[in-house]
Structure 1
Amino acid sequence: MNKGPIGIFDSGIGGTSIWREIHKLLPNESTIYLADSKNAPYGEKSQEQILALSIKNVDYLIGKGCKLIVIACNTATTNAIEELRAKYDLPIIGIEPAIKTAALNSKTKKVGVLATKGTLSSRLFHSTSESHANGIRILEQKGTGLVELIENGELTSLKTKTLLERYLAPMLQEGIDQLVLGCTHYPYLIPLLTNILPNHVKIIDSGEGVARQTKKVLENYNLCTPLTSKAKFQFYSNKDVEVLESFVKPTGVAYEIRFLDF
């Protein structure tokens, strides 16, 4: 047993979509969430920059006593997880676009992937796509500008809607019936996506899968928090604390949230 918190980081507030799923499945586990919003989006940075930022984030979370790290960022996972696992001796869980699920469920054999440039250009993404895309056509679309809009809280603005419609149009013309969200920010656009997409197109994100994997790893390493412990939820942002709080407050949990000069 281990009362230490689960550490979660993302290039901003998007990973709170992963935090929600983890908290839903593991409400007794304390968490520390680090939003590196000052450096968002990671998807436009080089692999070397992404790795350096990821190491900085993990070092901070380990310094806070975290027993397990969740990389709640597709770009950081696909560009840095192998190096992070080699560097640290605690469990590290990543997130990848759920291409396998989409490929298995597609009837048209055409799957759309909306992700950042950093994710789509990574070696891990391409190897995952190739291993699951037998007979499936994968249509990739860079979501340039979406992370910045979400970081500004523009979840339903006309600008966001217009940008989404432009990105989705080519994939819809090709006949996709599955849309994979390849960035943890994007689940916050699901209400908007639902209004834009035809009913037969299914939206897929990886949040539940990451939560299940986190539970499995905690059990395998005997790291589960005793049921008698009271969970604490801490959130840190190095940019706009108010924006981060707007994504956490609706969950109804008792939390601490602070600005971090980081």
Structure 2
Amino acid sequence: MSNAPIGIFDSGIGGTSIFKEIHTLLPNENFIYLADSKNAPYGNKTEDEILQLSIKNTEILLKKNCKIIVVACNTATTNAISYLRANYSIPFIGIEPAIKPAALNTQTKAIGILATKGTLSSHLFHKTTDLYANGIKVIEQVGEGIVPLIESGMLDSDEMLDLLKTYLKPMLKHNIDYLVLGCTHYPYLIPTLSKMLPEHVKIIDSGLAVAKQTKAILANNNLLNSDAKPSSIQLYSNGNLEVLNTIIDHQFATSYLDF
């Protein structure tokens, strides 16, 4: 099983930000990535809809013989990962907003969280916030409209800039010094956000932490790939392949898959 692929799925192309981090840390590994762009965003769906989509994606990756599955979607993690871990025998890696480091390091005692409705309303999110952000002002903002714009290739559009200005305004009013990105699509906004935020505001996402956790779980289960062959990387989307190709800089081969 050690040369079997790492499976990754997301509600579209955003999880490629996680894929890139894992691939950088584990260049030897084989990968299969599913971009469920047809059903993006997950954040506005019901818990049951998110669960059913997560099961569908998991079943596809299992049929492709994946040894571990990374749920590269905050919304799917917070709503479905407990079920997936309870019902399938392979390891699952989830994604959660990096509230802990922001809450532990804030000097102004105010942090901003930009995430989907599905993440912010989940039990897991509230549990994490209660655990680590006691005494910290947490300004939550649903990033309504961001994912569809990214999925449409409108990352640097005027519409995106207008949305971000609207979403950042109340956070800056409360003097945040950390902005936590709670959706795997959002790291692609970091260059734009960095220009819009004061220098003292730090942006945190979960990508590197997820990559390190994936490596640790593979090592603990003796599943790290020891094969010296060049790695195989397959990226599939049921949406616009050109947008996926652009976001990954045409580095890897992509294919359309109807799922």
Within 5 Å, give how 1:26-37 maps onto structure 2.
26-37=26-37
Give distance in 1, aligned partners of 2:131 and 2:138: 12
Return the TM-score normalized by structure 2: 0.98
Residue 230 of structure 1 and its aligned partner are, at CA, apart by: 1.9
Q: Show the counterpart of 1:189.
A: 189
Deviations for 1:150-192, whole angstroms, at most 9, x for unmatched residues?
1111111111011000000001001100000000000000011
Give distance in 1, aligned partners of 2:86 and 2:93: 13
Q: Show the counterpart of 1:258.
A: 255
Q: Show the counterpart of 2:95.
A: 95
User: What's the secondary structure of 2:248's corresponding residue?
Assistant: helix
Residue 50 of structure 1 and its aligned partner are, at CA, apart by: 0.1
- Partner amino acid, structure 2, of 1:148: P
Within 5 Å, give how 1:56-95 maps onto structure 2.
56-95=56-95
Q: Show the counterpart of 1:40.
A: 40
Q: Show the counterpart of 2:50.
A: 50
- Gaps of at least 5 residues in structure 1 are none
Residue 99 of structure 1 and its aligned partner are, at CA, apart by: 0.1
Q: Is the 8 A contact 2:110 2:176 kept in 1?
A: yes
Within 5 Å, give how 1:1-262 maps onto structure 2.
2-250=2-250, 252=251, 255-262=252-259
Give distance in 2, aligned partners of 1:104 and 1:249: 35
Deviations for 1:194-229, whole angstroms, at most 9, x for unmatched residues?
111000100000000000000000000000101413
User: What's the secondary structure of 2:9's corresponding residue?
Assistant: strand
The aligned length equals 259
- Partner amino acid, structure 2, of 1:99: I
Give distance in 2, aligned partners of 1:103 and 1:229: 43
- Gaps of at least 5 residues in structure 2 are none
Give distance in 1, aligned partners of 2:247 and 2:28: 20
Return the TM-score normalized by structure 1: 0.97
Give distance in 1, aligned partners of 2:9 and 2:249: 18
The root-mean-square deviation of aligned C-alpha atoms, in Å, is 0.9
Identity value in percent = 61
Give distance in 2, aligned partners of 1:156 and 1:246: 13
